[in-house]
Amino acid sequence: MALMAVGLTTHILNNHIKSVLLLLGFPLLLMLMLGGFYAAMDVTIQGSVQPIQFDWQHAAQAGLYGILRYGHWAIGAATVWFLIAFFFHGSMMRMASGAQPVTRQEMPRIYNMLENLCISRGMQMPQFEVIDSPALNAFATGLNDKTYRIVLTRGLIERLTDDELEAVIAHELTHIINRDVRLLIIAVVFVGMISFFAEMVFRLLIYGGRPNYYMRRRDDRGGSGALLMMLIALAILAIGYFFAIMIRFAISRKREYLADAGAVELTKNPEGMMRALLRISGHDRVPSMPDEIQQMCIENSHNFMGIFATHPSIEDRVQIISRMTGTPVPVLQVSLKRGPRGPWQQG
């Protein structure tokens, strides 16, 4: 237990450090992307005129010009974006996921489970929100005690047994305790910014023409100008999404193992946690939910050939719980229980 406590303390400290680095590093990243864009544009335009000779010093000057000329606008826009996201992230997450708040009177079952778990840790209770979907998934969101929310799908509430549902709630509560939620929210905001700015540059180049800096230098190109603009726009768009992926990699997948362990510690029921994971496996996808939010869920099976997986596999997580607690992996019994009914079902 002492070793686990030290490991958890280290994890929470790492989350704080990563949050600060993301906050401090994002303006620098914006400047580098802006300077790289102008430098790449200059090199590309040089190549269209003199394919063999390049003036690298002029390309560097072009990059510096872009940073000095437009850097404050980029930082200003990013600051406004982050402040809006900070104060209204709950509403934004609700709109993106389709979640709706529910009260204790509407769903006393889940509130009673959460209340018992919070009492055991002496912490303030988060609120609940529900996504009207047959998928089996959940995530936690919020930046402080006043804004913490645990979001469950209706399918999860209606298909899991009480001990399995309690394990999922404990898993999400552990994310809040471990400060995983704050780091994920900051990462989601920054990924959204990068994607938006990359898309904005793409549209600016395609529909807005070449910056004035290049108008003063050469008047060439003819029909090749449009193609060059398209290639530069696509390159910047790709760079933006590349950095978005890198930010996702900066968030360790170890957080899910620790949240599983925290759920077992809170509920004292490793079998319930394993059964919940096995039941969720293969049924986690919520239609139309953005990938940035899906990566916050208890399971995210969507990835590109396993390369960009944000979560360890369900099989690995179940095996680790079994090995660490000495509990055999449960075999799910065939259930004849009718699935949840809702707006997604006709008739």
Catalytic residues: 172
**Secondary structure of the chain as H, E, C letters:** CHHHHHHHHHHHHHHHHHHHHHHHHHHHHHHHHHHHHHHHHHHHHHHHHCCCCCCHHHHHHHHHHHHHHHHHHHHHHHHHHHHHHHHHHHHHHHHHHCEEEECCCCCHHHHHHHHHHHHHHCCCCCEEEEECCCCCCEEEECCCCCCCEEEEEHHHHHHCCHHHHHHHHHHHHHHHHCCHHHHHHHHHHHHHHHHHHHHHHHHHHHHHCCCHHHHCCCCCCCCHHHHHHHHHHHHHHHHHHHHHHHHHHHCCCHHHHHHHHHHHHHHCCHHHHHHHHHHHCCCCCCCCCCHHHHCCECCCCCCCCCCCCCCCCHHHHHHHHHHHHCCCCCCCCCCCCCCCCCCCCCC
